[in-house]
Structure formats: structure tokens, C-alpha cells
Structure 1
Amino acid sequence: MERTALNPEQRVAVEHGDGPLMVLAGAGTGKTRVLVHRIVRLVEDGTPPWAILAVTFTNKAAGEMRHRLRELLGDAADAMWIGTFHATCARLLRRFGEHVGLTRSFVIFDDNDQIKLVEKLLKETGLDEAVSPRTVLSRIDRAKNRGIDPRTPTGSFDDVIEQIYPLYQAQLARENAVDFNDLLLKTIELFKFESAARVLKVKFRHVLVDEFQDTNKVQYQLVWRFAEATRNLAVVGDDDQSIYAWRGAEPRNLLDFDRDFPDARVVKLEQNYRSTQTILDAANGIIRKNCDRHDKALWTDRGGGEPIEIYQAGDERGEAYFVAQSIRRLLDDGPHSPNDIAILYRTNAQSRVLEEHLRAARVPAKVVGAVSFFERKEVKDVIAYLRLLANPAADSAFERVVNVPARGIGDTTVDRLRAAARASGAGLLDAARLAARGEVSGLGPGPRRKLQAFVALIDGLGDVIASGASVAETIIQVIERSGMRAKLEADQTSESRDRLDNLAELVTTASDFDDEVAPAPGASLTGMAAADGGGDDAPGDGEPGDDEPRAPTIEDFLERIALSSPADQAADAQVVLMTIHIAKGLEWPVVFITGMEDGLFPSLREREGTSEDAALEEERRLAYVAITRARERLVLSQARTRRVWGEIRIQVPSRFLDDLPPDSLAQPRRTRIATPAPRIVDGDWAGRARRPRPVRDDLDQRTSYDDEPVFQVDGDFVVGAEVSHAALGSGRVVAVTGTGKDCRVVVDFGVVGRKTVFAKFLEHAAPGEGSTTGDRLN
């Protein structure tokens, strides 16, 4: 085989003979090439293809490796064992499974099968209201990843898991079934049986493992068993890209490999073939702060490349506006197509405002690895509650939420309600009211009490709306009173945390909507009509006309969602939005990384069983992965403030920005502040047709409010007064409306923009304190 295309370090790894080998392959350094060429070399040196095992983590990676090997070796590649851990183990268990209680026809339970089984067991044990099936399955999965079986002494699990785990495993055995974890565990168990172990220990003369930093404890035990006799184990990985500890990966498997195999040859691949040196310097600057790693630094002979841009917006809308406009300009100016661009973020909840602004900028885009924001289950659940509150006859909304979160109202009860609704000609909510009063036959005391509680919940939420609560406050009450928030917080899984983030973002969406749709202070069409002497179109009898400013309603919000969330249109080329975890292994010419703020990225959440230092090191590895996805251009963005659960929070720039080499940046760290983004109405920017604003190349716009009307209403605060807010800082009053406890003040906070706040949250600035607006903008 011609190996002149290999660099010196790659060649050392490919030509290594027998014995353990660890290849530390940095991002973009050609690890797949090394694996493929090493396998070819083994075959050329006389190793039978069937005696080679190459293990990957994804079917895609396994398929790519097999394809390359077929090009180089022809049909010989088909005799090799190339596949994922699960596929390899399933193949072995088909042959040797009788030793561990499986027939050749055993079935593999997928995620849905497992959830249904756990639901059944929780119901049979009367624990279905104590914990969610997803939480139970997550804990069982965690236990299996650590090699803990159901016979572990009491104390390793909480009471529910300790009760369900043995029942779960027993049911799998009765059905001649395994889950994905069992495929590995039962394969390891085979080595306890002499007849099977005798074959398995010598079956594979060479074992190669890709992405070794992502292996868990069980996977490491498995490959060690396969290679125990020959010690011909070659692992390829990058400890700097170990980002899956939250799902059981053990970074120490790679970090300690040379300790477990003292005679292992260690080869470092540091020459990068993907990114410019500027981008690599940024990645090196962040990752070198980690203590628990093998020392290495990426380099390339491609040259420096474009400097990295850091952009600071006033809030998340300004950030999304900047990203959308920057991409629009890249597409208009060329030579980039949408497929060349990716937007990465730490959490799925960040996609919502980005999706909105990309649509407004007419940028074709798609969310990868997650459904679009308003299609996510928890978001749709809350929206269904709102639909039911706005329209009690909305039966589809009733059916969606009557048992969300689980409150013991099952299909049988709903069937009885359907029958009662048909008989009375009423909707399901009305039928539930009848049932709560005992006027629906076939329902016992238990279902009746649960329906009484649900009806009381809906009535209580109706009272919240009647009291004049904002849309955001109504949504908060839905999330709190329904039990959705408490349920997700109790689950304590990464999925439940993501769902909480999405609910918080929904509240933020509603808060933005409340601010946008709320009538301008002092603006009253009724009053203006009266001042002008009325007219044929003037409202009469004190009732508001069609154009009368009014507070935003639930109905308005639902309409806005329906109009601003069109189904994704098919496009040949689309900008992609995804979390950094999903982006691993991918690359683009242009990458935007958003949300570069402490608490967001790095995330500062506590993780069960993980120290604060270890969690921060994993966040740095995640930043390293994100940065090394970019080939030519990298843009990092952040926001000075974000709404979280409807409240505005001052954000601190990510500590990772301090680790970037100054000479890799387009400008000093004190970046420019953008103007507040225009509001989006019905999928477009409000007012854009009336007052188009040219966008300068650097997008460093500063808004002047001199040409806008100013309203003043008597109150404790007057227009022009200097005020301060605990979170937003100092600013100048530009409008006041209402009096007493209902007094609302519009304040220009400079960088933060104009915000409407209740007067009770403001204080008059101390004499001589002055506004910091000008200082913030400079």
C-alpha cells in the first residue's frame, strides 16, 4: 500500500507491530485515515481479515470505515468484524447466547420498548405517580453503565429503583430480550464460561477501538477481555474531546491507558488538516487550562487565516439579529452557500430566538438533532394548556393535557368522558365538570377525585387570566400549578434539564411578546378621537374599538405562534443549528458559537457525582470541540442580558473568552455593543417596511430615540428623571403610564435598551450619580 500521504506520526501509528498502541488524535488530525491504513497494513503483513475487530461508536463511522477498506482491500473487508459495540456484541450473542440464558432468536428492546416496560412495572407496583418512567430508565442505564446489577446490596439505589430494576431485568429474561446495555454486559458474562471464553480470547488477533475517550467502564472491560490474550489493542482517541461524562463516558479510560498497559506505544497526532492556525490557537488557548489531559497542541501548515470575531449584543434578540444579518450578508456577498455555515449553542433552548431571526432574514435553516422549538413536547404541552384556557371547547387540547404531567387519569377515564360528552353535546372539559360532580356513570371515587383536581386546576388558571396577569405570568402559573416544573426538577436527568430550559425559554418568548404588544404609554385611540371631536368611527359608550390599544391576551399569543412557526420548508441548502454535542465530528467553513456567557457556556450546573472542577474541565473540552468545527471563519457571540423565566438577568462574558490569544482576535476583548434588535411580527421585522435601516459592515449600530414621541403621565417618576434598577442598572425615564401600584415606567438603560418596568422596582438615582447610559455604549 502507498503510504507516502501519511505524515511521520501517522506512519508510526500505522506501522506499529504487535503490542498495545495508544494514538492521541487531536481534532482534524486524520484519525480515520490512520485506523484504515493500520488495518490494511495488518492484512498485508498476514493477519487474516476475520481476526481483526474494529469497534466504532456509530453505524455511520463503521460504514465509512468499511467503505474505505473495500476500496483498498476489496472483498477481504467483508470478512472483518467492523461495527459498533452493540452490533458486535449482538453478533457474538447470537452464537454463544445460550450460556447466558438467551436463544438465537432473542430480541433487542429499543428505547420505546424499554419505556413501555417500565411504565407497566410502575403501574403494577403502584409507583406510577412517584417517579417518571424516563427517570427510572435513566437510573437503570446509569447502573448498567457502571456494571451494577439488580443483585447489588441495598443502598446503591433509591427505593423505587431498587424495587423496579430487578422486575425490569426479570421481565426481559421472560421475553428472551435484552436492552442495549445488556448486549455488552452479557457478552462480558460469556467469559465466565470456559467453552465460550476459550474461543473469544483468541478469536481476534488485533482489536482496534475508535473514539476511545467516549468508552464507559463496561466497554473498557469488554475490549480488555478481547485483547487480554494477545495484548494487541490499539485505541484511538482524544482526551480533549471527551464530552460525554454525563451519559457514562469515562475520560480516565484514555488518560490511564498507558498506566494499564505500561508497554504501550503512545503516538500523538497534532498536525491539523481542517482549520486555520488562528482557529487552532484559540482552541489550544482554552484547552491548555485543563489539568487532567495529555499535553498536545494542534498546528497546521495552512496559515493564519481570518481573525476570530467576538460580538457582544444587548440581549439575546440582538445576538440573534446579528447572527442572522451576518449570515444574510455572507450569502449575498458570496462565495458561501447555506451548507457552509453552522450555528452552535450549548443548549437546545437557545435555538428559538435564532430560528425567528433567521426566518425574518430569509435565511434557509434547519435545526439538527432536535425538533424546532415550538414542536418540542413540553412546549406543546404548555401551549395546549393555553388553548384549553382560551377555548374550553378545544377537546384535542384537553386530551393532551388532562394527564400531563401524569396524574392517574388514564384512557378508560377519558373514554367515559368522551361518551358523556357525546351524550350531552358538550365538550370534554364540560364532561369532566359533570364527572367531578358525580354525574358521569362508570367512574369510581378515585377517577372522580382526580378529575375534580384537574377541573380545579383549570379554573384556578382561569382566575389567573381574569386577574389581568400577563401572558408570561400565565405561562409561569401553568408550569408551576400543573406540576410540570416540579416533575422535571425531580427527574434530575439531562433530558429533564433540557426540557426545563425550553420552558424557561417559552416564558422568555411570552415576556418579549408582552413587552412588544403592550400599548405604548399614553397612547389611547379613544382619547385621541375624543379630543378631535369624535367622528363616525369613534368608539362609543366607553367600549374600546377594534384599534383600541389593549393588553396582550392568550389568544393573541397563540395566534402569533401559529403565524410565526411555519413548517420547515424544504431547501437544497440550509444553514444548520445544533448543540455542540451533536456537532462533534462535523465541520464547516463558517461557524457561529452563540451564548458565550458564564452560566450558559460554560454551564455552571451541578452534576450528580461530578466535582465542580471536573465539570468545568468538561465544559472546556466542549468549547475545544466547538471551536475546532470551524475551517475558515469563527464568530463568537454573547449577550449582556438574557431573559430567564421571564426575568432579565445580567450576563457575565464567558471565562473562556479570556483564554483566547489576543493576536487571534479581530479586535480587543472590549467588543462593540449592538443596537437592540427590531421586534419580529408575523415572521418579519416590525417596521422594516416603514423605516428601513442600513446595516453597516460591522453592525455597530447605535439607536437614536430623538425622533420618537415621548409620553408623560403624572406619577412619582417624570420623563428625563435618572433612575436605577437592581438588575438593569441606571437609566433615564422616557415615558410613564399609570399611577400607584399600576405605574409602569419606560426606561432607556443604554446597552440593555428600553425596558418597561413597574415603578416599584425603580429608585431615583442619588444626586450626582447620573446615568451610565453613555458610559455603557462607549
Structure 2
Amino acid sequence: MLLRLSPGICDDRRMIPWDTLNAEQRQAVEAWDGALLVMAPVGTGKTNVLSLRAARAIENGVQPRSMLCLSFTNKAAREVKARLVKHLGRTAAEVTAKTFHGLCAQILRAECDAVGWDRDFVIYDEEDCRTLFGAVLRREGIRPSESEQNQFEFLLFDAAARARLSRFEEPPGRAPQDIFDECLRESRVDSIKRRGGVRFKPLLSEYVYALRERHAVDFADLIVGVNRLWDENPEALDRWRAKFNWIQVDEVQDTNRSEYRPLRMLAERHKRLSFFGDVDQTIYEWRGSAPAEVLADYKSRFAPVKVLHFTRNYRSTRRIIEACERLIVSCPGALTRQIVPQSADEGEAVGYYEAANSMDEARWIAGRARELAAQGVAYNEMAVLVRTNFTARELSRHFEELKLPHTKVEEFKFFQRAEVKDALAHLRLLVNPHDSNALARFLRTPPKGVGDAAVEALLGEPREAGLKVGDLLSTATLDAGDPFLRLLEAARMGRVVVFDIESTGLKIGEDEIVELAAARCGADGSAETFHAYLKPSRPVGGSEDVHHLSDAFLAEHGEDARTVLERFRQFCAGCVLSGHNIPLFDVPMLTSACRRLGLAGWEDQPAFDTLDLTRRFHRMPRYNLGEICQRLGLKSVPTHRAGDDVAATVELLQALLPKVEQGLPARVEAVKKYGARFRPLAKLVERWRMAMTEERPAELLERVLDESGLLKHYGKNVEDAPRRENLGELVGHFRGYDDASMEPLDALMHVLGIAALGREIDGQGAAENSLLLLTVHQAKGLEFDTVFVAGAADGEFPLGRSVRAGLETEEHRLFYVAVSRAKRRLYLSYPIVSKWGREQLRSRYIRTILGSSS
């Protein structure tokens, strides 16, 4: 196959600093084409090779816009992109560098009509999902003991993910109840065990329905959604295959079968799928990662696969590398047989301390940390790593007594901090007024004069009548007395225009409308239709696969865009708009097209979404237009052609209007009773929503922080100063994450998605210098000058129940991950007397590192 070089790129190797690469790294960079598997232990220069291999592919003619680089964390993805920019300049902007979940979100937002999701969907993190499960449990009257509430909510969250993903595993499909029962057996939620468990499937159904009602998805939804899309919509799969014909994936050891499946489906034609990682760092088997099975399938499907092993470590001192090597070569099934140190620094011997108890252990760690700080080592370059959250909390209490500055486990993730989540909730509510989790935070912090009693009342009869609490944050609703009164009045007069568009793409500020169809209708039927093809100023490109309108067809049949849009404006005179899933695409696209031609926009035109209406009045497993029509027994069949989809939406609207009419009295009564409390908030939110389409994300955030009172709220007390600083840092992150090529609204949704999907620390708070206290799982992918592995007793590390469950090898790898975080100093410690008052032995892994005589 002949490769066409990208414009301005010459195949002269100028971009690749070959003299900085060792022989193993050079081979990986040279193997830019085809299937490649690289096993790269810690500190072997993997990130540099990832970026240089992508640069080498571009040198050889691979188009940057067709390249996909996936990383485990947002931080790692940004680093790969930054290094690409260093080598390629602006060309690198076209390379897609994301996490796997970020890729899924991109695909599903683009294909939301096919999967039946709202285009404004938000991604719920673990805390949001657990809160949702808590609400489901309360409604169902299931009450675990207070001390077990958090653990049971996590159990449900975990079981819900496993149950939905199991259908894409091989062998496929275990019953949700069986998965829940297994999770319950492994847990310590004794109060639920004593009652004989619970029926899980109804809880799962309620949970998923609650997500959809809030226009929200969780992490498992993203994976399930893409798998289902590929299975049920071959055209969509072909479109994304055409988009990405060079795929590189990092951290393969953390990939489970349901994540690998859509990737291998994307790559099965072009075979350009490569994996990097270190299976000896597999620490998520308990969560479904299965690198052995994934790699066996990969080597079979993508043969021949070139396999390389990196062995040279550039990160750590020789003493630390020796400890790592001793530990990993003794691990059953380990691939790493040798780690070759490249540093000349011998380094300190591995430190070791047998403490009398946990307080003595904390005192020893604090003393050593203070000595190092006095020598110039920053506290935030030191980390204490432990096996469990319980041990972390116990050490944290001791550190507080000892006045040792430290960041706790629960404070580790920047985007999980309370003040940061409060700020993000304000912005999420602007994008998605149906997000009740965000609404609750918005009303609560700072207090806005609407109490829990009012919210609970609105969730009763008014909700059954089709009213959502978020509807009261609209002055149009408050003025009319009902969110749908104008729709009902227009329908009675036959003045509803249902419309649909097809376009050259999904970028609102750049792409163009190529087909516009509409029907002016009322409650009883259509009166008049509108249809036109528009002649675009650019080629339709890959969008032809969606709407099947070619450049040649549009050149012959397309009309002048200004003429069509002016005629459509006349067609809509005196009407309200309606359509399926229109708020964040069709209406903004129509507005953008008009503004680019110097015509008035459509922002002030009332528009009603039939997808939202269907969710309010009909409970269904999925809400794509075709399935809705089928479940409601409608005659129309949507085809992804504007005219056909308009006909289907008209029939759907007419089926929904009687229910909208029926609920009118209850909705009006509720708005009349509670509306006054919401009016000041509605004015504020609408001002922000206007700014949302004009201001960049960081500017909007600064406005919201000021006008919402959040900055003032977190400025009342001296001890809140770090919280205010974190809000300032959040503004900085918004600037860093902003994609200038996107319209402001799209950029805001992009930034909010990154915040929801963040797995790693993106900053500890402004100018914060404190020792990090983390679980080993949290520390994955990080490195520190100095590492203390604490609580390293047999029964704690390895964890006794993991050993009993046959997972001792994973515990061995987890200890390896812990010690390999250290660059210059490594200390191991354990308390001789456990927290339960029992004597315990040091970890078997300490004996492996230090030798039995030490």
C-alpha cells in the first residue's frame, strides 16, 4: 500500500531524536505500522516511545486526524499529546489522545440518536452513582445499618457495572442476581446478609432509569453503549473505522474484555492496533481486567504481532531497582526476568522498621519525613502507600496528632473535593437542567432559599404530572405557570413546527446544514410540510455515510442556504419548534447557520424536545426514536433522513400531547405554590446560560463562582482558604483543558467530561506541600522521590481475604507496584501488634526484598 505523506512532513527523520533512544526503544518506534505489543516495566521510557512512535507514523504518511492514542488517565493522555506537539507542532492537534472512557463519551455523544441518549448527557462519577443508589434504597425501604451504608452503596455500584458488562464478556452473560450475590458474599455488609440479601434486578432497573431521567450515564454505560452500538449499527462502526485507522493503547494490563472488544472491532480491518503496558503491574483483576485473555485473543486476531520487551530502567536508584527485581522475578507467572539500571546512583539501602504498634509506625514515618524535609525534599515528593483505606484512615489520625502535613485518601482526587464538586455542579446544571444531583448541590451550597421540603413536595404528584424541579429554573415556565403551556396552546392552533436537519458534521460553529425538513402541525395532524436541500460551501466528507447525500447530489439539487433559511423563518412565523433530541444540536446548528449568514438566530424561539417528553411520561429501556415508535405502536419508521424522521416525530408528539394536557392542572398548581422561591435563581441561571454560548469555559466558571456566592461562601473562615485556592486552581484547569477549536458550549461539555472521568490527581491544591497518604491503587502511574510502604504485615499486605480467595499473585504484583513508585528512597514498615491487638508477622514480600536473615 502506498502511503501519502502529510503536507509539510518529510521522511528525513528530523523529528525523531534517534540518538536518545536505546535499541529496544528504537525498535518500537520503527515498528510504527501493523500490530505491536510492548511490555514496558516502570521507568523504561514508555511515554516517550508512545509519542515518538506516533510521530514516526506521521512521518511515514499516516494522517494525524486518523490516529487514536489511548491512555489510562487524562494526565497521561495530555502528556502524550504535549510530547507530540513538541515534535510536530500544530499538526499534533489533529491526533486524538484520550482515555478509553473519554473515547466512548465522544462516540456516544456523536451517535446519541442511534443509542437513544440525550445529547446533553452528563457522566456521573462514583460518588454521584452511590448517591443515586442511596435514593433508590430509600424509596424501596431497604436500610442497611448506618455503619454499612457507604459500603453497601459501593457494592451496588460495583455489581451494577459488572452485571451490565457481563454480556460482553467471554463466555457471555451471568445473571445480575448471581453477580450481586457474589459481591455480597465477598463483602462485610452483614445486615443485608442477615436479611437474606435483596432482589437486585429491580434495584438495577430503578438505578438505570434514574440515570436516564437525569440525562446521565455512568462509566459502565459508556462501555456498554459503544459495544451495543457496534453490534446494532454496522454503519456507525464503519464510520468510526474510517475515522481511526491507526490505534495505540497504553496500560493494556488494565483493559478488560468489554473494553478490548470495541477496540479490536475498530481495528480488525486495518490491523493497526498496538498495545503497551506491563502485565506484571496487573492490579485490577478483581474489577475485571484480564490481560492474559485479552493478549491471547489479540495475538491470534492480529497475527503477526511484533512483541518487544523493555528492560532498561531510567527512573530509580540501583538499590531500588534491585528490590523491584527481587520482588517481581519471584512472582508466579511474571514476564519480567531482568531490570537493568541505567542510573549510576547506587542510592540508599532500602529502609525497614518494625514498629510496636500503628502509632509507633506513624511516629517513625513522621520523623523520617521531617528529616528529609529539613534536607530539602518537599513533602509532596514523599508518599505513604498502604493496602487499604482502613489503614490509611488510621495513619491519618496519627499524623494529625503528630501535626504532620499530609493529604488524606479522600482528598486525593482533585475533582472529588467538595468545593470543586459544588462548582462543577453549577456548570453541569447549565448544560443539563435534568441533572438532579447537580441541582441538589446547586441549591445546597451556598444555600439558595429552597429547602429540602419544597424539593420533596415537587418530586411527588407534580413529578407524576410531568414536572421536574429543574423546570422552575426557567423564567418562561414561571411566567406561563407551566413548562408546556405554550406547546399545548400552539398545538391547539396547529402552530407547532416539528423539524429535523442533516449536516456535514457535528461541529456547530463550522459544519453546515445540507437538508432541512419540517411539518407544521397541531394535535390532530400535519397541515403543511417544508423540505429543502442546501448547497454547502464544503465537501460533505464522511457525513455522507450518515445522510447519504453526496456532493454531486447537493450540487445539483441544493439551494442557496440563505434563501432556504429565510424561507424556513417565514414557515415558522407564529409557531413554536419541536423535534427529537434537538436542544444541544439542531437548534444551535440552525442558529449558527443563520448567524454566519447575517440572519437572526433562534435562541429565543420556544423549542420542545420529544425525547424529553417521552422520558417524562413513558418508562422504556431505551429511547432512540425507532424503539419509541415501535413500543408506542406508531406507524412511522425513522430512517435517518430528515423527512422520514420529521414524520415519525410528528406522530410521536401527537401521541404525547394528551398526557401533557392531562398533567396540566397539577403542574400549574405546583408552579404557583413554589415558583416565587425559584424566580431569583431562574434569572441567575438564564444569565449564565446566555454566557455559556459566548464565553470560554474558564471565563464562565469565574463568572459563576462570583455570582453564585461560592467564593464568598468559602471565604467566611480562615480555615477555608485552601478551598478558595482550589477553586482558583479549578479555573486554571479549565483553561488548560479548553479546546480552542471548539465552540464555547462544546468546549464546556468537553471539560466537564474530563472532570467526571478523571482517575488521577490533577493537582493537590494551590501551592500545597504535604505528604501524600494513598492506597497503592491510587498511586498507580505516579512516582515519588521517597516512598514509605506502611502497614506491610502478613494479613494486611498481602490482604488475608485476597489470599484465601486465590488472589495472592495479584497482591504480589500490587506490592511490586508500591515499591516501584520510588525514585530515590524506599522505606518498608509494619506494626508488630495489629489494630485488633494481635501479634503479626512482617509481610512475606519484605522478606523477599530484604532476605530472610534481615
TM-score, length of structure 1 as denominator length:
0.56
Of 211, 214, 217, the match for 2:251 = 211
1:376–1:110 CA distance, 2 compared to 1 (3 A) = closer
Match 2:797 to one of 582, 585, 601: 601
Q: Match of 1:597, as an amino acid?
A: A
Q: Select which of 841, 847, 852 maps to 1:652.
A: 841
Instruction: Tell me if the contact between 1:122 and 1:128 (Cα under 8 Å) persists in the aligned partners.
Output: yes
Write out per-residue CA displacement over residues 187-220 of structure 1, whole angstroms, 9 at most, x where no aligned residue: 1222232321222233211111111111122111
Q: Rate the CA distance shift 1:58–1:371 in 2: closer, same or farther, 3 A.
A: closer
Is 1:60 matched up with 2:75?
A: yes
Task: Give the aligned partner of residue 676 of structure 1.
Answer: none
Q: Would you say 1:15 and 2:35 are equivalent positions?
A: no
Please state if 1:284 is matched with 2:325: yes
Deviations 1:398-452 (A, max 9, x none): xxxxxxxxxxxx9879x9xxxxxxxxxxxxxxxxxxxxxxxxxxxxxxxxxxxxx
8 Å Cα contact 1:278/1:305 also seen in 2: yes
Measure how far apart 1:177 and its partner are.
4.2
TM superposition shift of 1:575: 2.3
Does the Cα contact within 8 Å between 1:598 and 1:655 map onto a contact in 2?
Answer: yes
SS of 1:114's equivalent in the other structure is helix
For 1:78, the equivalent position in structure 2 comes to: 93
Counterpart in 1 of 2:811? 619
Gap change, CA 1:109 and 1:660, over 3 Å in 2: closer
CA distance in 2, matches of 1:599, 1:64: 38
Does the residue aligned with 1:633 lie in a helix, a strand or coil? Answer: strand
Paired AA for residue 104 in structure 1 = R
Residues 693-736 of structure 1: CA distance to partner in whole angstroms, max 9, x if unpaired? xxxxxxxxxxxxxxxxxxxxxxxxxxxxxxxxxxxxxxxxxxxx
What SS does the corresponding residue of 1:598 show, helix, strand or coil? coil
| Contact 1:342/1:591 (8 A) holds in 2 | yes
Matches within 5 A, 1:670-685: 670=854
Q: 3-state SS of the aligned residue for 1:649?
A: coil
Looking at structure 2, the residues matched to 335 and 581 of structure 1 have their Cα atoms a distance apart, in angstroms, of 28
Per-residue CA distance 1:94-122 (angstroms, 9 max, x = gap): 22232222353444344454345434444
Matched residues in 2 for 1:336 and 1:312: separation?
24
Paired residue for 1:168?
Answer: 207
SS of alignment partner, residue 162 of structure 1: helix
Quote the RMSD (CA, aligned, Å): 3.4
Shift of 1:356: 5.5
SS at 2:801 equivalent: coil
Which residue, out of 753, 778, 782, partners 1:586?
782
Distance 1:184 1:669, change over 3 A: same
The answer to whether the Cα contact below 8 Å between 1:145 and 1:248 also exists between their aligned partners in 2 is no
Q: Distance in 2 between matches of 1:293 and 1:371?
A: 30
Alignment partners' CA distance in 2, 1:369 and 1:583: 13
Give how far 1:309 is off: 2.0
Of 610, 628, 631 in structure 1, the residue corresponding to residue 820 of structure 2 is 628
- 1:123–1:616 CA distance, 2 compared to 1 (3 A): same
- Among 42, 56, 59, which residue is 1:27 paired with? 42
1:12–1:366 distance in 2 versus 1, CA, 3 Å: same
**C-alpha distance in structure 2 between counterparts of 1:572 and 1:113, whole Å:** 27
The change in CA–CA distance for 1:253 and 1:369 in structure 2 (over 3 A counts) is farther
Of the structure 1 ranges 309-318 and 359-368, higher mean CA displacement relative to structure 2 is found in: 359-368
Whole-angstrom distance in 2 between the partners of 1:275 and 1:313: 27
Q: CA deviation at 1:18?
A: 2.5
Q: Name the structure 2 match of 1:312.
A: 354
Give the whole-Å Cα distance in 1 for the aligned partners of 2:56 and 2:839. Answer: 57
Whether the 8 Å contact between 2:36 and 2:305 is mirrored in structure 1 is yes
TM-superposed CA distance for 1:68, in Å, is: 1.6
| Shift in alpha-carbon separation, 1:13–1:597, aligned structure 2, 3 A | same
On the 8 A contact 1:340/1:589 being kept in 2, the answer is: yes
* Structure 1 CA distance for aligned equivalents of residues 842 and 217 of structure 2: 47
Alignment of 1:195-234 (within 5 A): 195-234=235-274
Unaligned runs of 5+ in 2: 1-14, 182-197, 419-450, 457-718, 723-765
**Partner SS state of residue 605, structure 1:** helix
Other structure's SS at 1:189 match: helix
Cα distance in 1 for residues equivalent to 2:210 and 2:786: 50
Task: Note the 1:329-344 alignment, pairs <5 A.
Answer: 329-332=371-374, 334-344=375-385
Going from structure 1 to structure 2, the CA distance change for 1:22 and 1:219 (only over 3 Å counts) comes to: same
Question: Superposition pairs for residues 503-652 of structure 1, below 5 Å?
Answer: 572-606=768-802, 612-613=805-806, 615-644=807-836, 648-652=837-841
SS at match of 1:234: strand
Cα pair distance change 1:74/1:311, threshold 3 Å: same
Q: State the secondary structure of the residue aligned to 1:292.
A: coil
Relative to structure 1, the CA distance from residue 288 to residue 156 in structure 2 (aligned partners, 3 Å threshold; closer, same or farther) is: same
- Tell me the distance in 2 between the aligned counterparts of 1:113 and 1:642: 34
Does residue 141 (structure 1) correspond to residue 161 (structure 2)? The answer is: yes
Aligned to 1:235: 275
Give the match for residue 554 of structure 1: none
Do 2:384 and 2:789's aligned partners in 1 also have CA atoms closer than 8 Å?
yes
**1:593, 1:626 within 8 Å by CA — same for their partners in 2?**
yes
**What CA distance in whole angstroms lies between the structure 2 residues aligned with 1:338 and 1:604?**
32
**Mapping 1:39-438, distance limit 5 Å:** 39-127=54-142, 132-147=152-167, 156-157=178-179, 158=181, 160-173=199-212, 177-192=216-231, 193-253=233-293, 256=296, 257-259=298-300, 261-303=302-344, 304-332=346-374, 334-352=375-393, 354-355=395-396, 358=399, 363-370=404-411
182 and 649 in structure 1: CA distance in 2 versus 1, 3 angstrom threshold: same
In structure 2, the CA distance between the partners of 1:195 and 1:53, relative to structure 1 (3 Å rule), is: same
Q: Extract unaligned runs of 5+ from structure 1.
A: 378-409, 416-565, 663-667, 671-778
Matched residue of 1:311: which SS? Answer: strand
**Is contact 1:281–1:661 with CA below 8 Å preserved after alignment?**
no
- Structure 2 residue aligned with 1:722: none
How far apart, CA to CA, are the structure 1 residues paired with 2:176 and 2:224? 21
Distance 1:234 1:125, change over 3 A: same
Moved more, 262-271 or 289-298: 289-298
Paired AA for residue 233 in structure 1? L
Mapped partners of 1:600, 1:568: distance in 2: 37
Change (3 A) 1:101 1:245: same
Verify the 8 A CA contact 1:271 1:300 in the aligned structure 2: yes
* Residue 517 of structure 2: aligned partner: none
Structure 1 CA distance for aligned equivalents of residues 393 and 144 of structure 2: 32
Q: Aligned equivalents of 2:382 and 2:173: distance in 1?
A: 51
State the alpha-carbon separation in 1 of the partners of residues 386 and 720 from structure 2: 22
Query: Helix, strand or coil for the counterpart of 1:585?
Result: coil
Contact 2:280 2:336 in 1 (8 A): no
CA 1:174–1:596: 2 relative to 1, 3 Å: closer
* Alpha-carbon distance between aligned partners in 2 of 1:76 and 1:357, rounded to the nearest angstrom: 52
Could you tell me the TM-score, scaled by structure 2's length? 0.51
Q: Deviations over 1:214-241 (max 9, x none)?
A: 1122111121111111111111111111
Question: How many angstroms does 1:592 deviate by?
Answer: 1.5
Check 1:655–1:260 CA distance in 2 against 1; reply closer, same or farther (3 A cut). Answer: farther
Moved more, 219-228 or 67-76: 67-76
- The DSSP-based 3-state class of the residue aligned with 2:338 is coil
1:284-331 CA-partner distances (Å, limit 9, x unpaired): 111222223324321212133221122112222222222222222233
Change over 3 Å in CA distance of 1:134–1:305 after alignment to 2 = closer
Identity of aligned residues (%): 35
**Residues 310 and 218 from structure 1, CA distance in 2 versus in 1: closer, same or farther, beyond 3 angstroms?**
same
Q: How does 1:763-778 map to 2 (within 5 A)?
A: none
